[in-house]
Structure formats: C-alpha cells, structure tokens
A and B are shown apart, each in its own frame.
Chain A
Amino acid sequence: MGGNPLLRPLAHLRVDIETESQYHFSMAQPTIRIPLSQLARGQRATVECSALDSLPSEHRCLLAAMGMGEQCEVRVCRPGTPCIVQIDRTRLGLPQIIADQIMVTPIESTSP
C-alpha cells in the first residue's frame, strides 16, 4: 500500500465514473447488497453470487443443500431471531448471526 498517506482516509470515496451519463445510470440503478437480517417482513431478495462466502464452509454447504444457493430468491417471513425465510416452498429458520453474514440484493416491489 503505497501512495500519499494523506489520501488514504479518503480512498473509500473513490468512484469509478468516467462520464456524466454513466454517473446518472449508476444513480438510477444502484446495486445494493445488504445482510439478509436487514430485510423487513415480506420483503424479497436475491442471494448474490459469493453471498455466502463469509460463512464457514460447513454452514455454506448445508445452506446450499437446504435450498439457499446462489441466485435463489428469498422472502422474509419473520425478521429477527430466528430469521425465517422462504425459498420456493421451503422455510428455513436461521439465527441472527448467520443472517447477518448472508448478503442479498433486495427486489423492488413491482406493485403500484
């Protein structure tokens, strides 16, 4: 990690935007990844690629085998502990500590 030490605290503000049009596009379609535990009751989301990477491998493999694989859609039936989510016809109960580590992309409601 070289460079001017004075600039380091601002590194997180760097934005990869080269044109104005690209800036407007990225504002309109932001890709938000939040922990599963932050979704509200009834909210839907997609489990992103490598969303389970922060979990230990035995938990990751078990969740995938239970139906929570990459790109699957989840619906939150009960937030909190346990966090109850529905995937297809399967309901899974997860402790908060696990739900905190699963990154998902919320699906915007299409209803008016």
Chain B
Amino acid sequence: MIPRIALLGNPNTGKSTLFNRLCGLRSKTANFPGSTVEHQVGRCLTKSGQEMDLIDLPGIYSLMLEMPESRLCADCLDGRVGDGRPDAALLVLDANNLSRNLQFAASALRRGLPSVVAINMVDLAERRGLIIDEHAASQALGVPVVAVSARSGKGIDRLIAQLSQTSKSNATPSPDIAYPTSEPGSTASAMWAADVFARIAAHPNEKNDERMTIHDRLDAAFTHPLLGIIFFVLMMSLLFASIYWLAQFPMEAVDGIFGWLGSGVESIMPEGTLRDLTVNGIVGGLSATVVFLPQILLLFFLLALLEDSGYLARAAFAVDRTMRRFGLPGQAFMPLLSSHACALPGIMATRLIPNYRDRLATILVAPFMSCSARVPVYALLTGVLFAGRPLAAGFAFTGCYVLGGIVGLATAALLRKTILRGPSTPMMLELPDYRLPSIRNALTIAVDRGMLFLKNAGSVILSIAIVMWWLSAYPKSQPSPESVAIEMRAVEVAQTDPTTAENLRSQSQRLNERTQQSGSFAGQIGAICQPAFAPIGLDRQLTVAVLTSFLAREVFTTTVFVLAGAGSDADGEDQGTLATVRSATRDDGVPLFTMATSASLLIFFVLAMQCLPTLVVVARETGSWRWPLLQFCYMTIIAYTAAFFAYRLMS
C-alpha cells in the first residue's frame, strides 16, 4: 500500500513549487472519488525506491473558514473525501512569514495526523539574517521539522527521508504540546505563535528590508487605475506576441516531423484504404492539432513565470476596478484567468466565489475567455489574415483575447442588471513578494499542461480524426466523366510532353477528390447545414469543420485538413500541414480561407460556445440545464451576428 500524504499550507508559501520539486513530472490531475473536486496527485520516490503519493491541496489561511477550499482541506484531513484519512500531512510554512504560518500549522497539527513540517524559503530568510533552528522547531511543534528551499533543492532529500519515516512509523504529534484551541488570527493563537517564533528563530543580523520602498512603488504602479491597466494590456500583448513569434520555429519542426512520418508511411504501406486512413486520417489529423503544442507550452510557461514573479496578484487589483464596474467580483479574476487555459477548471474554480449571483455571472461569462483549444484556430486564421507579418498577427491574436474579454464583461454587466441583480463581494488578496520566477517550476507546469493537451489529442481528437476520415472517404464515388477525359488526354501526351501530362493527371486527381468530397457522408451533412452558415461565408467543408468542433474546438484544424487539405495536396508538392490547410480550396477552386471568411470565422470562434464538455460542466455546477442552454443560445446568437457583420465588412 503506497502511503498518501496531504500537502497543506497557506497561499504563497511555495507549496506548489515544493510539490513540483518532490514529484517532478510524476503528477496528474485527479478527482476525489465520488466528487468533482480536482486536485493534483504526484508520486514521490525515496532514494531506496519507496513510493509515496502526495496530494496537493489548495492553499488556505485556516481550516475553520466558511470557504469551499477550507472545507475541502478539512474534509480531506478528516477522511470525509477521497480514500479515507491520509497517512500523513506535510505542512509547508514560509520562513519569512512564520508568525502567521505557525498559527495555521498549530490548527492542522491539532487534528492528530502524523505530520512533517517543511519550513520553506529558508535561503531567502537567511539572506535577511533570520536563522531557523530545526531542532528547537521540532521540540516546539512536536513533529519533525525540516528547513528547505524548494527552488534551490536545499533540504529536499532530508525532507523525503523524513516523510518516508513518518508515514511508516505513524507517529502522531507529541501530546505534550498545548496547541492553541482557537482559530488562526485569534489573540491566543497569535500569542502562542509569537512564543514559538521567539524559541525557534534567531535574527542576529536581520536587515531592515530596503526593498520595501521599491515594492511600494511597484505596487502603486501595477495597481494604479490607469497605469496598472496600461501595463496589464502591454504585458499581455508582449506575452502573446512572443508566443506567436517564438513558437513558429518549433512549430515548423513539429510540422516537418509529421510530414516526414506521413511520407515514410506512404512509401512503406501499399496503396489502399489502410494507407489512406493512416496518412490522411491518423497522421494528418493528429499533426493538425499537435503542431500547436509549442504555443500551448509557451503560453503556460510564460503565465507560470508571471504568476511566480508576484505580478499577477497586482494585476488582479488592476482589473478588479474595471471588473467591478461590470458587476463581477474581484474573486472572479482567477477563475476567468484560468478559463484562458480551459473553461472547465475556470468554471470549477468559481466555487471560491462566496456570493451565488457573483458565481453564476462568472460561470456564464467564463467561456468568452479564449481557452487554449482556441489557440490552434486563432493561430491558423490570424496567420492567414496577416501572412508574413508576425507582429500584426501577434496583435490580432491578442485582439481575439481582448474581444472575448470585452464581450464577456459586457455580458456580465447585462446579467447583473437584469436576471442576476445584487451587490458584489469585495476582494481581499495577499500580495506575494516580488521575486525572480523559477524556470524549473514554470517548465514543470508547462510540460504538465502540454501532456494534458497531448493526452486529449491522443484520445478525443484521434477518434474524431478517424471518424472524419471515414465520413469523408465513404461512400466511394465514381470518377466524373470530365476527370476521365482529362486522364485520357494525359495518357495521349505522356510520350511527347511529360510535364503537361503530369499537370493533367494532377488536375484529374483534384477533380476526383472534389467528387469524392461532395458525395461523401461529410459532404452530404455539410450540404444540408451549409445554407445556415452561408451568411457568414462558410462553404460545405467549413460548415462540417465548425459542426465537428462543437465536440472540441481544436478539432477544427484537424477536420479542415482531413476534408480539404488532403485533397489539395494531390499536386504532389511537399507542403507542411499548416501550408496545406491554408492553401485548401473550395469546390469552385476559390481559396477556402479568404480574408473575409478568416475574419468571420475568427470572430465566430472567439464568441461562440463551441464546447460540449463546458456545457455539461455548467449544468453540473449550476444544478440545472436552464443556464447552459441560455448560455449556448446567447453566445451562438452573439457570435453569428458578429461574424455576419465581419464577413459583410471584409467582403
């Protein structure tokens, strides 16, 4: 039986950095059995190979607060969620803020679970001249204490060994320690913590922190009503422009690898259905989504750096003023920011919002925030709109995020003035110290998110790619008389003019592809639904792509490749996946992605509720299908109308 250890601590104690340091990439997102509450579970290995499962719980200030995350942590420690009580607890304290952290530790230790205390960021404390006595701390707290630095790795081996020993020995906190019975923040608890602090910490050379005034100035700038917003917009623009620019190189490499793989498979396998399925269905379909992995990795890497630097908490206040004008509480900032990764965790994070109306308004506008599944679609369409101009494409990319945000906020204002009237809850937030972000931690987070994306690509997207290939490959159509005539001409001139013969064969092949596409099941579905999408400039192929992307937005590029891309590659040129999709044509030979169609589609994807899993989660979180249905209808109408006007203007 692998011991289970709950990881607990105040926010901003470096708990997640420690979790990443202890488990590396051996972690996964999981739900507590029988519940929808997500958490990270990681496997930690001792030097002797013993395994331990670490449960990363949310950062909380007290186990007794009437807040969802506090209740979750208390339930986990008491065995009310998950597989019973954990075997041990790892309490993470910030060495630079011990007085408050000790009060939290006391309230957790009072529950009697075998525990180890990790005093984190001791390197920073030592730089300030504060020295922690581990032995005295163990005696004062009644459990083993290890001083660590999750960033540098100092003390990590000793911590792992101690965790292993405590989880095996089942040693509960010493009964001789009189932990305060009142909650953290009470006078009794503060006095107990002050006494313990005096016994365990020495500060012979503690420096008055000169940076405080610099911190004050930075805080004033980053939370300023005007400067703060300007800085926020600049920061986000820089972030997305750099994602766009930096990602193009690895994207080309991924594209090349898939191209090489497709050619390899094509040369090895005999011609036929199986080869067609492998090359056009599996390899081509997967490549159209996986090619965007570098952008996903970069987005999460840079966001993790920003969060670690301490800036994002200030940004929350900078945007709070704006959000409040639209009737959203400051607590909505983090769920809405999380929705930029994926609306599902964002919607689930709204549980932290205490007011029901605030929470409902946040849930209803969260899908307007551009999620990572939209990144492939944005990248493709902005690339078409601004071909060869990466800076302009980067700004357009940012514009998509801004558009989603603005329409989301306007919707929130509308909701709060109509069906969700009522006051908002004020935001109180701890502002972590500014610091150099940890590259290692950001890399771990980015790789973790990237693996989730790949897992999705390997399951849902692969299945859809195969289904789409089948729908577009069957029923088989007979070559058209026109194509047969061209083929015969090619045979006639083959001896005298091989170049013309080759061109004629390509032409005939393209005609066959078109006949096949329009006669296939996908073509028939597209033809039925296309009139509804014609006003926003979509043809049969794009209609099918939009319809299938309702299952997962990133499937759009895959579907376009499978439906149109494979056909346009018939001229024998060795094009990459992106180039293939961009150069795809309609039945009448007109480019599939014109400026007007690209703009219309881009706006449609920014604003439309093209995500079935999100609707299911909204129904679950609101306890009714009424809200997701309202959300779907509202977003679809807004998206369709905006796309219609964009198409008309650009045409």
A107 interface residue per 8 A CB criterion: no
Q: In A64-81, which residues have CB < 8 Å from any B CB?
A: 64-72, 77-78, 81
> Is the Cβ of A59 less than 8 Å from the Cβ of B428?
yes
B183 interface residue per 8 A CB criterion: yes
Given A61-B185, A93-B313, the answer on whether A66 and B430 have CB atoms closer than 8 Å is yes
- Bound-state CA distance A77–B429 (Å) is 14
Rounded to whole Å, the gap between the CB of A89 and the closest CB of chain B is 5
- Bound-state CA distance A58–B223 (Å) is 25
Q: Name the A residues within 8 Å of B61 (CB-CB).
A: 62, 65-66
Interface residues of A, dominant DSSP: mixed
For B66, give the chain A residue with the smallest CB separation.
Answer: A58
B499 interface residue per 8 A CB criterion: no
Q: In B40-93, which residues have CB < 8 Å from any A CB?
A: 61-62, 64-67
Q: Name the B residues within 8 Å of A88 (CB-CB).
A: 97, 99-100
Q: Name the A residues within 8 Å of B66 (CB-CB).
A: 58, 61
> Is the Cβ of A81 less than 8 Å from the Cβ of B215?
no
The listed residue with most A CB atoms (<10 A of its CB), out of B96, B216, B433, is B216
> Is the Cβ of B216 less than 8 Å from the Cβ of A77?
yes
> Is the Cβ of B427 less than 8 Å from the Cβ of A95?
yes
> Is the Cβ of B428 less than 8 Å from the Cβ of A64?
no
Q: In B308-322, which residues have CB < 8 Å from any A CB?
A: 313-314, 317, 320-321
> Is the Cβ of B62 less than 8 Å from the Cβ of A92?
no
Q: In A12-51, which residues have CB < 8 Å from any B CB?
A: 41-42
B484 interface residue per 8 A CB criterion: no
Rounded to whole Å, the gap between the CB of B323 and the closest CB of chain A is 12
B567 interface residue per 8 A CB criterion: no
B220 interface residue per 8 A CB criterion: yes
- Bound-state CA distance A63–B62 (Å) is 11
A104 interface residue per 8 A CB criterion: no
Q: Which of A42, A68, A97 contacts B426 (CB 8 A)?
A: A97
Q: In B408-444, which residues have CB < 8 Å from any A CB?
A: 426-433
> Is the Cβ of B431 less than 8 Å from the Cβ of A98?
no
Q: Name the A residues within 8 Å of B65 (CB-CB).
A: 58, 61-62, 65
> Is the Cβ of A62 less than 8 Å from the Cβ of B187?
no
Q: Which of B185, B320, B429 contacts A65 (CB 8 A)?
A: B185
- Bound-state CA distance A49–B363 (Å) is 39
> Is the Cβ of B97 less than 8 Å from the Cβ of A93?
no
A109 interface residue per 8 A CB criterion: no
For B189, give the chain A residue with the smallest CB separation.
Answer: A69
> Is the Cβ of B100 less than 8 Å from the Cβ of A90?
yes
Q: Name the A residues within 8 Å of B104 (CB-CB).
A: 65
Given A77-B219, A91-B219, A93-B429, the answer on whether A64 and B186 have CB atoms closer than 8 Å is yes
> Is the Cβ of A84 less than 8 Å from the Cβ of B330?
no
- Bound-state CA distance A106–B260 (Å) is 72
> Is the Cβ of B431 less than 8 Å from the Cβ of A64?
no
Given A69-B185, A69-B186, A69-B190, the answer on whether A90 and B219 have CB atoms closer than 8 Å is no
Write the B352-380 contact mask toward A (1 if CB under 8 angstroms, else 0): 00100000000000000000000000000
Q: Which of B189, B354, B427, B428 contacts A63 (CB 8 A)?
A: B428
Q: Name the B residues within 8 Å of A67 (CB-CB).
A: 97, 99-100, 185
- Bound-state CA distance A41–B217 (Å) is 11
> Is the Cβ of B430 less than 8 Å from the Cβ of A78?
no
- Bound-state CA distance A82–B316 (Å) is 10
> Is the Cβ of A78 less than 8 Å from the Cβ of B220?
yes
B212 interface residue per 8 A CB criterion: yes
B184 interface residue per 8 A CB criterion: yes
A-B contact pairs, 24 of them (CB 8 A): A58-B66, A58-B67, A59-B426, A61-B183, A65-B62, A65-B65, A65-B183, A65-B184, A66-B61, A66-B100, A67-B100, A71-B190, A78-B220, A81-B321, A82-B427, A90-B97, A90-B430, A91-B433, A93-B223, A93-B428, A93-B430, A94-B428, A95-B426, A98-B428
Binding site for A on B (CB under 8 A): 61-62, 64-67, 96-97, 99-100, 104, 183-187, 189-190, 212, 215-216, 219-220, 223, 313-314, 317, 320-321, 330, 354, 426-433
Contacts A78-B223, A95-B330 supplied; 11 other A-B pairs, CB < 8 Å: A62-B65, A64-B186, A67-B99, A67-B185, A82-B427, A84-B431, A88-B100, A89-B96, A92-B430, A93-B223, A93-B428
- 4 tightest Cβ-Cβ pairs between the two chains A and B: A64-B185, A65-B61, A65-B62, A91-B431
